[in-house]
Amino acid sequence: MQQTMSQPATNAPRTGAPGADRAFQWLTLLMALSVFALIALIGYELMRGARLSLHHFGWRFLVNSDWDPVNDIYGALPAIFGTLASSVIALLLAVPLGIGTAIYLTELAPLWLRQPLIMFIELLAAVPSVILGFWGMSVLVPWLRTLLFPWLQKLFGFLPLFQGPAGSGFSLLAAGIILAIMIVPIITSVSREILRSVPGLQREAAYALGGTRWEVTRIAVLSYAKKGLFGAVILGLGRALGETMAVMMVIGNSPQIVLKLFAPASTMASVIANEFNETPPAGLYPSALFELGLVLLGVTVVVNIFAQLLLKTFAGPSVKPQP
Amino acid sequence: MPAISPLTPIRASDHTAGTHGTALTARNLSVFFGQHQVLKRVSLDIAARAVTAIIGPSGCGKSTFLRALNRMHELTPEARMEGDIRLFGEDIYARHVEPVVVRRRVGMVFQKSNPFPTMSIAENVTVGLRLNGLRDKTTLTERTEQSLRMAALWDEVKDRLHAPAISLSGGQQQRLCIARALAVQPEVLLMDEPASALDPLATSHIEELILELKRNFSIVIVTHNMQQAARISDFTAFFYLGELVEFGPTNKVFMNPEKRQTEDYVTGRFG
């Protein structure tokens, strides 16, 4: 210790600091590790709950299209179909909207408009799922039934996708629209970050060749960023796959596989949330729901890891001067 | 576009340079970024088929001057200009003139090489032509070779035209960017410190290339390197604090400058 230290008293607590520091480090490490433990535990519990169903149905669970609690026969295919179909509809609507908005925000919008727009998009992300579902039930569904469905049928009625009775409005399309609204913010904000990371020099190169704004965006920005944008889309897909509440409220909850936009359907998440309260405490029925959860968890984990990998490896195909 | 006739080679020191008339005329050019005036009433003639070097300490407005010559400065928000710039007599800031058209006639090469990383070497060369709507395969192939030859890169890349542009070395990438700018056959080529990120060998390649290119193109180059300006330019303009201090044949500016500031700068007393 240095003699010049004016207040030796302050050194006293310092001598204890290394021990406390180490404890702090261990404590935070433990907290961080608990995340892994939680995921493992969730996986394990789902597996345990699904044991009966796994044993009983085996792989047939994934390809069986009957979901029939009365006869105790459970197949995941209708829910898997509904999950994928509603997510695809959501992506078809949300990807152009989200990426288009991101392009406007980074490339075209006047500076004063950018911040307010970004704020509104983030606000949209903050709307609770149940509120969106509520709006979907009370506004969107009646509107689909009375206006959009008849109109679409008049225009595209020759396509099987648009045929069939217009029904109640509770439908695959309603779920797709609600999901689209929910994933537009994440697609927009991740795409915006990606586009912002495109070097200005790339844009200048295209401008200097006499490119118009659209041409510059196309050849210098979008092609540079496409991998990252794909990551943003997959991240949106991950969100859409697992979304429960709002979807359950508008999809009509019918375990059928009908490739028609106006037909009701169900998703893995909506089936679980909808039926779990009604199941007996033990038996094949709750076990099948557990297995459905296991499938959903597996799919979303894989999709999310894929998205993260895409976004991580997008440092851009960098232009590095070599020695 | 001026007719390209067979020319006798012109040396950097040759005072007959600039006898091909004037490519660009700037009159009372002022540029503002918001409230900040970056260029103050600069008047300057850029000789056709000659190399004009712009020198001066950092922040003197030389890059801004360069970017005003093809309206690139307009990409900066809140940029505003006053004055008059004419390209072979034509007002490039006239109301009916699109910046896009100006930039196709006045090409630009940047400090850091910036090839499009997702495109091949050949695609990088032809991207400007394709933007102009040129689709014909044979013409595109011809122009690719022609531009790469002009950029002294052809022999190094002719066997791998479809390799990614970023597989090239730094110096090669910069020559590729020059080829890309040349492919659209601009009348003027602006170069913003094109060799400052390169090693000495790559730099000498670029310098030789510039001397070769001035047979057909009018070149304006911003440089921090006094020796480089002396080696390759026919005319030199010295900018300081947004003003044009001195402009004349390079020999005169370096050997016998009229202004004290110029002398101090070119002899390295400040900068």
pLDDT above 60: residue B7: no
Write out chain A in H/E/C secondary structure: CCCCCCCHHHHHHHHHHHHHHHHHHHHHHHHHHHHHHHHHHHHHHHHHHCHHHHHHHCCHHHHCCCEECCCCEECCHHHHHHHHHHHHHHHHHHHHHHHHHHHHHHHHCCHHHHHHHHHHHHHHHHCCHHHHHHHHHHHHHHHHHHHHHHHHHHHHCCCHHHCCCCCCCCCHHHHHHHHHHHHHHHHHHHHHHHHHCCCHHHHHHHHHCCCCHHHHHHHHHHHHHHHHHHHHHHHHHHHHHHCCHHHHHHCECCCCCCCCCCCCECCHHHHHHHHHHHCCCCCHHHHHHHHHHHHHHHHHHHHHHHHHHHHHHCCCCCCCCCC
**What is the structure's pLDDT at B18?**
52
The whole-model pTM stands at 0.80
Question: A211 CB near a chain B CB, below 8 Å?
Answer: yes
* Among B241, B239, B242, B182, CA closest to B212: B182
B188-192 and A67-68: which strand pairing? unpaired
Q: What is residue A157's predicted lDDT score, i.e. its pLDDT?
A: 84
Interface residue A224 vs chain B (CB under 8 A) = yes
Confidence of residue A13 (pLDDT cuts 50, 70, 90): low
**3-state class (DSSP) for residue B143:** helix
Give the model's pLDDT for residue B21: 87
Q: Do residues A167 and A150 touch, judged by C-beta distance below 8 A?
A: no
Cα–Cα separations (whole angstroms), residue A238 to A187, B101, B169: 11, 45, 40
- C-alpha Rg value of chain B to the nearest Å: 18
Provide the mean pLDDT of chain B: 88
CB–CB of B118 and A199 under 8 A? no
Domains and CATH numbers, chain A: 38-314 (1.10.3720.10)
Which of A197-206, B16-25, B49-58, B149-158 comes out lowest in average pLDDT?
Answer: B16-25
Q: Average per-residue pLDDT in chain A?
A: 88
Q: Mutate which of B127, B174, B178 to disrupt the A interface (most A C-beta within 10 Å)?
A: B127
Residue of A nearest to B70 (CA): A208
CB contact under 8 Å between A209 and B118, yes or no, is no
Average pLDDT over residues B95-104: 92
Of A208, A223, A224, the CB nearest to B107: A208
User: Can you read off the two tokens belonging to residue B87?
Assistant: 């390209």
Contact assignment for B107 to A202 by CB distance below 8 Å = no
Contact A202 B166 (CB under 8 A): no
Q: Is B72 on the interface with A (CB under 8 A)?
A: yes
Q: Please tell me the least confidently modeled range out of A21-25, A165-169, A184-188, B193-197.
A: A165-169
Tokens of B260: 């004290």
Tell if the CB–CB gap between B117 and A317 is shorter than 8 Å: yes
* Pairing mode of beta strands B218-222, B51-55: parallel
Residue B170, chain A, CB below 8 Å: the answer is: yes
Q: Which of A9-18, A95-104, A133-142, B28-37 has the lowest average pLDDT?
A: A9-18
Yes or no, beta carbons of B72 and A224 under 8 Å apart: no
Q: Mean pLDDT across the stretch B234-256?
A: 94
- Chain B partners within 8 Å of A321 (Cβ): 112-113, 169-170, 173, 197-198
pLDDT in tens, B155-183: 999 999 999 999 999 999 999 999 999 99
User: What Å distances lie between residue A184 and A85, A90, A125, A311, CA to CA?
Assistant: 17, 9, 8, 17
pLDDT in tens, A248-261: 999 998 888 888 88
Q: Which chain B residues are Cβ-neighbours of A206 within 8 angstroms? A: 116, 127
- Indicate the residue of A205, A215, A223 with minimum beta-carbon distance to B114: A205
Residue B160 DSSP class? G
- Taking the CA of residue B17 and the nearest CA in chain A, the distance in Å comes to 27
Predicted pLDDT of residue A143:
94
In order of A151, A174, A250, A253, A262, the CA distances from A148 in angstroms are 5, 11, 15, 21, 10
Query: In this predicted complex, what is the ipTM?
Result: 0.87
Residue B26 tokens, joined: 């700037």
